[in-house]
Amino acid sequence: MSLNIGFISTRFSGTDGVSLESAKWAEILWESGHVSHWYAGELDRNPGFSMLVPEAFFGHEENEWINKRIWGQTQRDPEVSQRIHKLAGYLKSTIYEYVEKFSIDILIPENALTIPMHLPLGIAITEFLAETQMPCIAHHHDFSWERIRFSINAVTDYLEFAFPPRLPNIIHTVINQAAQEQLCWRRGVTSILTPNVIDFKNPPPPIDDYAMDVRENLGLAEDDIFILQPTRIVPRKGIEHAIKLVEMLDDPKCKLVISHSAGDEGFEYVNMLHELAHESNVDLRIVADQVDDLRGTTDQGEKIYTLWDLYPHADFVTYPSLYEGFGNALLEAIYFKKPVLINRYDIFARDIEPKGFHFPMMEGYVRRSLVKQVKELLEDKELRDSQCEHNYITAQKFFSYEVLRRKLNAIIANLIVE
């Protein structure tokens, strides 16, 4: 039976985790005969299957006005409550319109009932689900209690109500075991573990003509050792450890390349990294101007590559994160069969490491024995290929489309039967 699936969030655009994983879900559901539709405040999906509602975007001016008055304080003005309800009411009416327009059978809120970046949207979805009892799969990525900035707030009543709601027509899914346990403890809600995945059944294609000159255009020589840090520049990524690794490798051919920018989280951290690299005599290159979601050209006429254009050229990947909800960049490095340095962040230690992967691993700092392991991988192609092949086969077993397909089919069967 073919179903119309309604994905709903503040944004489906770009390469953030929610946008990427929702697209994978849609692809898997399509292969099972279901048609996906999209509702969000910012969209890059097919317009014929989408409904754009600008007020649903977390960066919309009305939502930003509300956010400035509810976080970091414990009392809210009556006007704030009124405007929350007004925006939630409007958004709820658009959800009704969306469901009717595309004859939606199952609603999938993507993080919209999880992290309260758009409080009125979460309220609107919750009220809609309570009023209609529509079958729902709530896909949770980041809960409010995982972010310090939401710990002091004037909306505990709304958080209890909608982030996430406790309704009989909702099946909750989470991306790691810690979230599963916390959701049960804090809300009394059971959930299904649905980890992030990649299509390991189909390996990446060979480098095409467009991406042949990545090294040249990034200023790297053919014999340089291309060490890729495939993340944004934010403190929780632990990039200072990548700099320390390159310093201790003590090879001028090692170049540390960071793919993305600091974004909207300030520039103190990136400035610190520049200073640290200079003091450590590390060749650090931030190539965010030449990396984007889609290929293109800069204002200066230079090529813009995607992150997936960079991976095949990299000799080594660093992933020294202090915290991750899961670790998409880690799966991508495995997918491209690259050796990876890992900091044993909590979710990795609990959800990924026990599966039997082989990585050089650090625990909070770079030690000499770890540098020795990295050198061996860089110098010994047979060892490197063997480790990368082992990791690929392991990931295919636990984090492939096939794993997610079985889970989604079972969830949908339960929802439709009920």
Helix 368-379 with 239-249: angle, nearest 10 deg: 70
* Distance in angstroms (rounded) separating the CA atoms of residues 376 and 19: 37
Other beta carbons less than 10 A from residue 148's beta carbon: 7
* Distance in angstroms (rounded) separating the CA atoms of residues 386 and 154: 54
According to the model, what pLDDT value does residue 211 have?
A: 97
Other beta carbons less than 10 A from residue 179's beta carbon: 25
Strand, coil or helix: what is 263?
coil
Overall residue count recorded for the chain in this entry: 418
pLDDT digits (tens, 9 = 90+) for 114-158: 999 999 999 999 999 999 999 999 999 999 999 889 999 999 999
* Distance in angstroms (rounded) separating the CA atoms of residues 181 and 146: 13
Nearest CA to 375 out of 195, 254, 282 is that of 254
pTM given for the model: 0.90
Fold of 4-197+401-417: Rossmann fold (3.40.50)
Phi, psi values for residue 35, rounded to 5°:
-105, 130
Amino acid letter, 193: L
Helix 17-31 with 401-417: angle, nearest 10 deg: 70
pLDDT digits (tens, 9 = 90+) for 247-277: 999 999 999 999 998 765 668 999 999 999 9
Q: How far apart are the first and last CA of the chain?
A: 15
Asked whether the predicted pLDDT for residue 406 surpasses 80, the reply is yes
* Distance in angstroms (rounded) separating the CA atoms of residues 120 and 143: 16
Mean pLDDT of 266-294: 94
Q: Are 259 and 227 in contact (CB under 8 A)?
A: no
pLDDT digits (tens, 9 = 90+) for 192-215: 999 999 999 999 999 999 999 999
CATH class in words for 214-396: alpha beta
Interior angle at CA 332, CA 311 and CA 164, nearest 5: 140
pLDDT digits (tens, 9 = 90+) for 98-120: 999 999 999 999 999 999 999 99
β-bridge partners, 195 = none
According to the model, what pLDDT value does residue 199 have?
A: 95
* Distance in angstroms (rounded) separating the CA atoms of residues 108 and 38: 10
Q: Are 395 and 200 in contact (CB under 8 A)?
A: yes
Nearest CA to 309 out of 224, 215, 233, 416 is that of 215
Residue ranges, comma separated, of all CATH 3.40.50.2000 domains in the chain are 4-197+401-417, 214-396
Nearest CA to 249 out of 374, 94, 339, 147 is that of 374
Mean pLDDT of 166-170: 96
Strand, coil or helix: what is 36?
strand
* Distance in angstroms (rounded) separating the CA atoms of residues 99 and 37: 9
Interior angle at CA 401, CA 398 and CA 406, nearest 5: 85
Asked whether the predicted pLDDT for residue 16 surpasses 90, the reply is no
Task: Give the distance from CA 153 to its chain's centroid.
Answer: 25
According to the model, what pLDDT value does residue 263 have?
A: 63
Asked whether the predicted pLDDT for residue 417 surpasses 70, the reply is no
